[in-house]
With several copies, the nearest count.
Chain A
């Protein structure tokens, strides 16, 4: 898994950088215009961390190494991002790290466990739930869809694909919502009609997971073909 997670983080950094202006524009509409800037700074710092980080010691279990990487990424986000999204995404990564450290029958199962833990961690820290027009409106549906796909026998590509689709739909579904958490809540009725920036970035991160998992699957099938 370690390789996959590292690929994901690097790819996510690139995609966050590209999407930063549009994320910031969403935040200008109902927040304070820094969400893209914040995440770009955070993922940039993750890449720097990856570049400097020594490879895990020989013999480290993959799950432990993966958890360690996610934990470092979470700490990096907490130290570099600030704002609401820094602690929230940072905590999500820390919780995800805790989840992947355990025993899982497959990478797909580990992914679902991590996504669920991450989502729950955000909700707990943010004292927030689905339907409040936050990143949780992408993450909760994604976690449910991923679990359903896994339960139906889906492999990593299928499970991450399900998460991606549900997160994308969830992010779009924030448009008509009235915000009750985060800065958008200050706007009252005027928050309606805009897509939540955090839900959008969450959907983006999950799209990159699916992309990386899909590419890995293609590689693997290419290799066995």
Chain B
């Protein structure tokens, strides 16, 4: 082992592995008692003032390890509840059932689901558990261009667009739209946004205790998801300008973006990459899009949908129009995103 090779065993700010998720949620509540409460029996983060009568309830959820997603997005103008599964493991139907019941204000509930078999199945089962009692619709995000879309496979993963969708659809729900309208906006956002990511390092699932994959000092995994998994292919580490091209080009192609189009550009860190690098990556993305005449109408830079302490980044582009821009700009007040209030 090289003299200064850092640790590869697990080094985390935790007590017992089994307590990580509930303790982290307790910390979220302690830090934001004005915004959220926790249903500790179900590991559900609930908007403080839920249920709000006359407002469509929005819930999401997924495995933990993606913080601030989803618990950090509960609050005014975004989610009404978020279900936290174990690390990288979809929550169970009981959790989504509890969340759905907690947020229903009589106008129905939208389930925002990322396209992973586990998430889809567990949300579906939850919807069955409240069928006939609460009207539920679902939107399944599947924005990851690294994976080819196909009817015959598990399809594309839901990644960065999920964050943007929760914000935008949250604004629509806050404004009093019906469940059908909210669901339609959700489908629109999912249809207009695409993402792709790469990893510089792996990460350690606490209960596993070892890195999910091994990677050389000069290698990157391109086309990763958000579960610490390896990507579609392995490449040599290159200057960030070039690596940003690897991510931006397939997205631009998939969305068919042209000169004059306006996008929300979202450069997301995978959890262990500091802002100095993320802004450098944003600079690369800005240069690439600028070179093609694509306008950055709105932007978001930071660690918003993560894979524990993985180093790396993803790029999400969302085609903007007036409606989406207005909904993006609308007030939001959650632990992780806040403006206009």
Contacts and interface: CB of A to CB of B under 8 A. Distances in A.
Interface of A: 24, 28-34, 37-38, 41, 78-88, 125-126, 180-183, 185-188, 190
A186 B92 contact: no
Interface in B204-230: 205, 207-208, 210, 212-213, 225, 227-230
Contacts of A88: 121
B232 A190 contact: yes
B94 A79 contact: yes
A182 B154 contact: yes
A38 B146 CA distance: 27
B213 A84 contact: no
Nearest to A21: B208
B108 interface: no
B87 interface: yes
Contacts of A31: 227, 229
Contact of A186 (B89, B152, B154, B205): B154
B137 to A, nearest CB: 20
Contacts of B233: 190
B195 interface: no
B88 A185 contact: no
B116 A183 contact: yes
A79 B92 contact: yes
Contacts of A126: 117, 121
14 contacts: A37-B89, A37-B207, A38-B86, A41-B86, A79-B94, A81-B92, A82-B92, A84-B90, A87-B118, A180-B153, A181-B153, A182-B117, A183-B154, A185-B147
Interface string B122-163: 101100000000000000000000110000111001000000
Contact of B208 (A24, A30, A86, A181): A24
A94 B197 CA distance: 38
B208 A84 contact: no
Contacts of A33: 88, 205, 208, 212, 227-229
Nearest to B227: A32
B93 interface: yes
B92 A78 contact: yes
A34 B205 contact: yes
B117 A32 contact: no
B302 interface: no
B202 to A, nearest CB: 9
The residue among A78, A82, A83 with the most chain B CB atoms within 10 A of its own CB is A82
Interface of B: 63, 85-94, 116-118, 121-122, 124-125, 146-147, 152-154, 157, 205, 207-208, 210, 212-213, 225, 227-233
A185 B228 contact: no
Contacts of A81: 89, 92
A12 B225 CA distance: 32
B122 A86 contact: yes
A182 B119 CA distance: 11
Contacts of A125: 121
B309 to A, nearest CB: 14
B153 A183 contact: no
Contacts of B116: 84, 183
A30 B232 CA distance: 11
Nearest to B207: A37
Contacts of A188: 147, 232
Q: List the 10 closest pairs (A to B, CB-CB), nearest first.
A: A32-B227, A87-B121, A83-B118, A84-B118, A84-B117, A37-B207, A83-B89, A82-B89, A185-B154, A180-B153
Nearest to B91: A82
A86 B89 CA distance: 10
A190 B118 contact: no
A186 B147 contact: yes
Given A32-B89, A85-B118, A186-B229, 9 more contacts: A28-B208, A28-B210, A33-B208, A78-B93, A82-B89, A83-B122, A84-B90, A190-B230, A190-B233
B232 A82 contact: no
A181 B118 CA distance: 11
Contacts of B225: 183, 186
A29 B153 CA distance: 19
Contacts of B228: 32-33
Nearest to A41: B86
A83 B90 contact: yes
Contacts of B152: 180
A82 B153 contact: no
B240 to A, nearest CB: 21
B230 A187 contact: yes
Nearest to B124: A87
Nearest to A38: B89
Contacts of A83: 63, 85, 89-90, 118, 122
Nearest to A87: B121
A32 B229 contact: yes
Contacts of A41: 86
B207 A34 contact: yes
A79 B89 CA distance: 13
A78 B46 CA distance: 22
The residue among B152, B207, B228, B231 with the most chain A CB atoms within 10 A of its own CB is B207
